[in-house]
Amino acid sequence: MTLAPDLVAAFAACVAPGQALSAPEDQAPYLSEWRDRWTGRAALVLRPGSTDEVAAIVRLAAAHRVGLIPQGGNTGLVGGQIPDGSGGQIVVSLRRLNRVRHRDAAGLALTVEAGVTLLEAQAAAGELGLLFPLSLAAEGTATIGGNISTNAGGTAVLAYGNTRDLVLGLEAVLPSGEVWNGLKSLRKDNTGYDLKNLFIGAEGTLGIVTAATLKLFPAPRSRITIFAATPSPRHALEALGVIRDAAPGLVTSFELMPRFGLDIVLRHIPGTRHPLSSPSPWALLIEIAAQTRQGFREAAEAALAEAVAKGALSDAAIAESEAQAAAFWRLREAMSEAQKFEGGSIKHDVAVPVAAVPAFLEEALAEAECLVPGCRPVPFGHLGDGNIHFNITQPDGADTGVFLGRRADMNAAVFAVVARHRGSISAEHGIGIDKRALLPTVKSPVELGLMRAIKTALDPAGIMNPGKLL
């Protein structure tokens, strides 16, 4: 249903001149996501420059029951930031809310607006000599508002937690148009329900996040990046235990990569090379950080030697420079990209208890091969968090359309293994449009009832990101 012209004009008047986009070519970058899996239409794309402007938009939408689609960097992987095809929804891009509002080095806190990119937030923390540890491959584009709304994970969850663990306070515009200012930097506040947690991971369905107070940490003085070979995921888990016990400081990343995944990165991504002399069935990218420099490297080497002596690792290389560490990370971060060169892929972002990862992999790999003989799995990811990106690439030379036609069967087979291990069908990326139909299959009636009750209490008119999540 399209909107009446005078209502469209009233929405446009909520933002500064030039910030209400109606021409198709101006709207286009906001209407589809980078892989073109979802494309929509919008009556307008609004680019507010302040919380007050966001509130004006929401008040008008509430009065006329118009669906609003909050959008940050548009890097989300489940379609939550894309409008439907009706042309009657409005995209609210938060990217112009891009100011750092407050720096508090002594209190280890940083208050930023929702459209500040993750990279900019990290840099602002760095200018204080501190660390904002959230880190993911899309950090140059993804925004803090998007990170919060998806409860993003990334590569340092093992040491610092998900986004939920990194937020001290929030400011949000509620579906009524009221502004809730919860920008506190308190470490302790037991005064009832923790309201900020309602908005974290809500995928824009309960309100629009406009600013956040983030938790900072002392920046590690030393960091070691290791590329290691391991015979199997079971051995990899053993190595995690050994290194966590023996290493100085914190193990901040512990990433698993299969041999086929590395092979295709080396084949397709220019400038990559294998850090070890011979390939192994599985590889690990390990990062250890510490506050001390003295004896750090020696202690880390001793931990690796112990893991090798126990057979948990078969070989390991320590990056000798920042450039080499970046090259190690490039191998891990290009794994998804490299799959594109090999045809179609069916992807899953799943989590199981950490100890169950080896059994999950054995069972899910067997299911995938049984369903599509010759398929080429690329299961990689955050082993230390029990989060595996269980991606399956089509058999060599197979018809891509026919392979992708098996998506539903492959999803069902993989999710059945996830369920056996009491895992999650969405570890990091959320539900969005992609997994909405699956939600009732993984949530109990009690859980779904609670979620619907919260949604109805906050957004009775259903204007906030309709059609997503629930």
The nearer residue to ligand FAD, 145 or 233, going by C-beta atoms, is 145
DSSP 464: B
* Shortest Å distance, C-beta 74 to ligand FAD: 5
Place of tokens 């069935």: 281
The CA dihedral of 435, 134, 422, 366, to the nearest 10 degrees, is: 80
Nearer to ligand FAD, 71 or 213 (CB): 71
β pairing state of 90-93 and 68-71 = parallel
Nearest distance from C-beta of residue 461 to ligand FAD, angstroms: 17
**Minimum CB distance to ligand FAD smaller for 146 or for 248:** 146
We find the least distance from the C-beta atom of residue 34 to ligand FAD, in angstroms, to be: 6
Pairing of the two strands 90-93 and 44-46: parallel
Q: How far is the CB of 291 from ligand FAD (least distance, A)?
A: 25
Position 329, amino acid: W
Within 8 A by CB and 6+ apart from 108, the residues are 130, 215, 216, 217, 218
Q: Least distance from C-beta 40 to ligand FAD, angstroms?
A: 12
What are the C-alpha distances in Å from 458 to residues 85, 202, 206, 439? Answer: 25, 12, 6, 20
Least Å distance, CB 156 to ligand FAD, is: 10
Give the nearer residue to ligand FAD in terms of CB position, either 154 or 377. Answer: 154
Return the number of the residue (20 or 142) whose C-beta is nearest ligand FAD.
142
User: Which residue has the CB atom at the shortest distance from ligand FAD?
Assistant: 146
Residue type at position 436: R
Cα–Cα distance between 266 and 244 in angstroms, integer? 29
Pairwise CA distance, residues 412 & 408, whole Å:
6
Residue 89 or 280: the one with the smaller Cβ distance to ligand FAD is 89
CB contact at 8 A, 225 and 287: yes
* 154 DSSP 8-state letter: B
Total residues belonging to the chain: 470
Tell me how far, at minimum, the Cβ of 354 lies from ligand FAD, in Å: 17
Query: Residue 233: which H helix or E strand, with range?
Result: helix 233-246
Nearer to ligand FAD, 156 or 300 (CB): 156
Strand intervals (E) in 276-423:
282-290, 315-318, 345-346, 349-351, 376-382, 387-393
Residue 419 CA, distance from chain mean position: 21
Least distance to ligand FAD from the beta carbon of 376, Å? 21
**Which residue, 67 or 233, is less far from ligand FAD as judged by CB?**
67
Using the minimum distance from each CB to ligand FAD, give the nearer residue, 125 or 152.
Answer: 152
Give the separation between CA 63 and CA 358, rounded to whole angstroms: 53
Cα–Cα nearest to 348, from 383, 385, 377: 377
Shortest gap between Cβ of 188 and ligand FAD (angstroms)?
Answer: 26
Quick one: 346 or 372, whose CB is closer to ligand FAD? 346
> Interface residues with ligand FAD (CB under 6 A)?
69-77, 80-81, 94, 114, 136-138, 142-143, 145-147, 149-150, 152-154, 203-204, 208-209, 428-429, 432, 465, 468
Q: How far is the CB of 76 from ligand FAD (least distance, A)?
A: 3
Calculated CA dihedral for residues 93, 96, 101, 104, nearest 10 degrees: 70
Output 308 or 433, the one with its CB closest to ligand FAD. Answer: 433
Paired strand residues for 182? 170
Give how far Cα 231 sits from Cα of 237, 256, 257, 444, Å. 11, 12, 11, 38
Distance in Å, CB of 267 to ligand FAD, minimum: 19
Question: Alpha-carbon dihedral of residues 333, 136, 54, 16, nearest 10 degrees?
Answer: -50
Nearest-approach distance from CB 17 to ligand FAD, in angstroms: 23
* Whether the Cβ atoms of residue 224 and residue 288 lie closer than 8 Å to each other: yes
- Distance linking the first and last C-alpha atoms of the chain: 21
What's the alpha-carbon Rg for the chain, to the nearest Å? Answer: 23
Nearer to ligand FAD among residue 142 and residue 351 (C-beta): 142
